[in-house]
Amino acid sequence: MTTGLDAADELLSRIRTTRTEPATDQRVAALALVVAANLPVLLWGEPGIGKSATLTQLAEGLGAPMETVIASVHEPSDFAGLPIVGDDPAVQGVPMAPPDWAVRLSRAGRGILFFDELSSAPPAVQAALLRVVLERRVGSLTLPPAVRIVAAANPPASAADGWHLSPPLANRFVHLHWTYDPRVVARGLAGVWPQVDVPAIVPARAAGALARARGVIAGFLTARPGLTHHLPSDAEARGGAWPSPRTWDMALRLLVFHFCTDTGRDALTTALIGAVGDGAGLELATYLHELDLPDPERVLADPEAFALPDRGDRQLAFLTAVVAAIEASVTRERWEAGWVVLAKAVDAGVPDVAARAAFDLARMRQPAWPVPPAIDAFVEVLSASGMLTGGA
């Protein structure tokens, strides 16, 4: 029997029916890049601007379940797990039972874990979330690797009973500042919302991408060592993105995924700023643009045909990338090509820049491989380390 509510529900279903189109917003592209790289991401924005709706659309596009957990209404034990005493706790221990949402994600094997209203969670709850975000542990349950962790927060001034995020928790996220575009809202209410597409990985680029990313980070932090770790002085800044060894590792992963996809420069810059903060992120993005690091795989294929960069930090970045590429797939041909590359640094009068690379390259040598002529420039330092013993 049809009732008035049935007709109302049908009308509501029509209102909710929309379609999507590819997004051009750099924030959306940055979110997709971070999610692809499986880094915890935190969306900052005022209430009601579509943070939750964006994540719902992302989950639907991925065909993955999304579990929403309102962090502000939970207790620390909800994340640490509740003790369940068995028959013989002295022998078996006392396991910590996970909540139902963690169990559902574990069974699915993939999905999005969405922590909403994070800035309204009191410090004790934030502390309990540390292990979930970093170690992916909820009670005695380990979340599957394919589960992505996303959070949303309102600025403390506009959050209900808002708190600044604790520095340890803030430093575990890539922070993206979410705003609304009136044109996007108007088009969305007309029935067409942006589509969040995770960037497609090009597997053939993987080895070279990792080597290039290692070179970029090594070169940059050599030039700017003061940015390796910098904890801001004020509470609000400490609750956002700032540089630390942990967030530089995030930046490394973002660079690898950028090199393996067709993600745009603006989206990468937004993601890097979200990882290591405004100043360090902008500097790194500018450094990367000016560095123009060649593909180490192409260099190894024809080591005689390249020109060594002029600046010391760029030389280090390049040589680090070459050694990382060789280490990913060590063969005698590639190893010997690496020494040809290092010889360029000696010829340029900067053997000290290549010394660390030579040390790492020498470690890869198999006993049956002859010592190449280019190693003569580093024989003193390598002999002192014992690298040339055993078949040299």
SS3 291: helix
- The whole-angstrom separation of Cα 213 and Cα 321 is 7
Tell me the pTM. 0.84
pLDDT in tens, 265-295: 999 999 999 999 999 999 999 999 888 777 8
Topology at the third CATH level for domain 41-172: Rossmann fold (3.40.50)
Helix orientation angle between 312-328 and 206-223, rounded to the nearest 10 degrees: 150
Sign of CA dihedral 59, 64, 65, 71: negative
pLDDT at 386 over 70: no
Rounded mean pLDDT of 333-356?
A: 83
pLDDT in tens, 13-53: 998 888 888 777 888 899 999 999 999 999 998 888 888 88
- 121-152: string of b/e by CB count within 10 Å (b at 16+)? beeebbbbbeebbeebbbbebebeeebbbbbb
pLDDT in tens, 231-241: 998 888 999 99
Higher pLDDT, 82 or 146: 146
DSSP 165: P
- The whole-angstrom separation of Cα 68 and Cα 58 is 13
Higher pLDDT, 378 or 257: 257
Higher pLDDT, 308 or 339: 339
C-beta of residue 173 within 8 angstroms of C-beta of residue 41: yes
DSSP 226: G
**pLDDT classification of 391: cutoffs 50, 70, 90:** very low
Residue 209 CA: distances (Å) to CA of 79, 253, 254, 285, 293: 36, 10, 10, 16, 11
Give, rounded to a whole angstrom, the gap between the first and last alpha carbons of the chain. 90
Domain boundaries for CATH 3.40.50.300 within the chain:
41-172
Name the range with the highest mean pLDDT among 35-44, 323-332, 350-359: 35-44
The pLDDT of residue 101 = 93
Strands 147-153, 111-116: pairing is parallel
Rounded mean pLDDT of 322-344?
A: 90
C-beta of residue 113 within 8 angstroms of C-beta of residue 150: yes
The pLDDT of residue 392 = 42
- Please report which helix (H) or strand (E) contains residue 175, including its range: strand 174-177
pLDDT at 220 over 60: yes
The pLDDT of residue 253 = 97
- The whole-angstrom separation of Cα 86 and Cα 93 is 8
The pLDDT of residue 387 = 52
Residue 281: how many CB atoms within 10 A of its CB? 24
Strands 192-195, 19-22: pairing is parallel
pLDDT at 351 over 80: no
The pLDDT of residue 1 = 62
pLDDT at 134 over 80: yes
The pLDDT of residue 389 = 53
The pLDDT of residue 229 = 96
